[in-house]
Amino acid sequence: MRILPSIALAAALAAAVPAAAAPSSDMGDLSAGAAAVRDKALTDSTAWDVTESLTSEVGARMVGSPAMTRARDWGVAKLKALGFENIRVEPFATPAWSRGPESAEVVDPWPQKLAILGLGGSSPTPAGGITAPIAVFRSYQAMLDQPPGALAGKIAVVTQAMGRTQDGSSYGAVGVQRRSGAAEAARRGAIGYLVRSLSTDDTRLPHTGAGTPGGIPAAALSPPDAELLERLAARGQPVTVKLDMQSSVNPAAQAWNISGEIRGGEKPDEILIVGGHLDSWDPGTGAIDDAAGIAIATASARLVAQQGRPKRTIRVVMWGSEEQGGSSGAYLAAHRDELGKMVVAGESDGGAGRIWSLSLPRIGADHPAMTAFKASLPRLNVTVSRAAPSGGGADISGLIANGVPFVDFNQDMSRYFDLHHSADDTLDKIDPAALAQNVAVWAAFLYTVANSDIDFRARPATEAK
C-alpha cells in the first residue's frame, strides 16, 4: 500500500526540506555543498539513533516472523519521523525458513556437546535426531573429490577455515561450502552436513547463513568445535555424532520492501536509489547486518534534504528479504517501469566499518559532480579505485542486471566476519565514528548526484556526437 503524509507531516517536511531553489550544478557550489554535508555528517547522530532504535525496539528480524512485521511498522514510522515523503509498503511473498530446537554432540568415543546453528534451508532430522559416524574433510574440495556413495550413512564435516581480509574477499572464496555443501554431501550419500562457520573469530559462537537445500540436516559449527572434530578424527578412531534439528519452511511468507523519498524539485522523476536490508538472521540483533546499512542510507539522504530540496529524487529503500532472498526480484517487478529513470543505485550491506575505497561508474567519471564528490574524500581517508563497480549488493542485483548504473562503497570488513550472522552481531560492536564516516561519504555522493545533471549511462555513439 501507499502511505501518504498527513498535513502535520507535510508541514514538518516543509521545514526539514526547504523549498529553496536547488543549488547550482557548477563545480564551486557542488564542492561546497558536498563539503557541508560531509562535515555535518561527522557530528550527526541520526545513523546511530536509527541503528539503536531498530536493534533495541525490534531486535532479530527473520523473514516470516512476528518480529519482521514489527520491523515493517518500525520502518514506516521511522521514515515518517525523519521527514520522508511518498512512503510505500510493497508486499511480496517469499519462502521463509524458520529455526526450531537444535543440538549436536559427540557420543563416541568421548562424549561432549557441540555448538551449532542450523543453516537456512536445512531439512529437519527425524524426531529424536540422527546418530552417525562422521567423515571429516579439511577442505571443501576434498569432499567434492569423493565419488557417489562414498559418504553413505555418514555425517559429512568440512572444516576449511576462512581468512581475514579487509575487503571480505575470503567470504566469496569459501562461501560455497556453506551455500552448496549440504546438496553436494547428499549427492555422495551423506545423511547430514556440518561446516565450519564462515567466520574469522575464535569464539564458540557459530555463524548461520543460507544454504542450498540438500534434503539433509545442515548446520554451522563454531570454529573451536570444527577443530575439535578434526583432532578427534585424526586419532584414528571412529567418531560418532548425534544431530537433532527441527525447522520448518513457509513457502509463501509475507515480506515487504519499504521506501520513502526526498522528492526532487526540478527533476522529481529522476531517482537515486539507496538503502539497506531490513531483515536479519536470528542469533543476534542484526546490528551490523544490516541495521547499520538502513541507518547509513536514511541519515545520508536526510542530510542532503537539510541542505535544501535537491533537483532529483532520493529514494531510500529498506529491502525486506535479503538473507533468504526475494527482495531484489520483487523490487524489480514493482518498479520495472522506472528503470530508465533510475540515475544510480547503491546498497550499504557491509557492516559499519569505515569506507576505505570506492568504485564509480566509468561513464561520467569526469563530470563536475564526480569531481566535486572526489574532492570531499581525502578528509575521510577514502580512495577512488580505477576499477569499475562489480558487486553493488544483493538487493539491487535485479536493477543492475537491467542496466541501472551502480556504485561499490567498500567498507573495512577486517572484523565484520567475527560478528556476521552470529549472536555477537549487536549494537555494542559498532563504532559511532566509523558509522558517521559512512554517512559522510554517502551524503556527499548523494548531494552531488542529486543536484547535478550527471548521466552514468553509456549512450550510442550516434547520440553522443
User: Looking at the annotation, which residues are catalytic?
Assistant: 322
What are the cell numbers at 396?
539491487
**Angle at CA 51, nearest 5°, toward 48 and 56?**
120
What are the cell numbers at 78?
521511522
Exposure on the CB side of residue 381, measured as CA atoms within 13 A? 8
3-state secondary structure of 298: helix
DSSP state of 340: G
How far is CA 10 from each of CA 81, 314, 327, 368, rounded to the nearest angstrom?
11, 17, 29, 33
DSSP state of 312: E
Of 254, 86, 289, 61, nearest to 171 (Cα)? 289
How far is CA 333 from each of CA 85, 90, 120, 271, 304, rounded to the nearest angstrom?
22, 11, 25, 17, 28
Query: In the beta sheet, which residues pair with residue 196?
Result: 221
CB contact at 8 A, 374 and 311: no
Alpha-carbon span 262 to 88, nearest angstrom: 13
What are the cell numbers at 141?
574440495
Query: In the beta sheet, which residues pair with residue 459?
Result: none
Exposure on the CB side of residue 28, measured as CA atoms within 13 A? 0
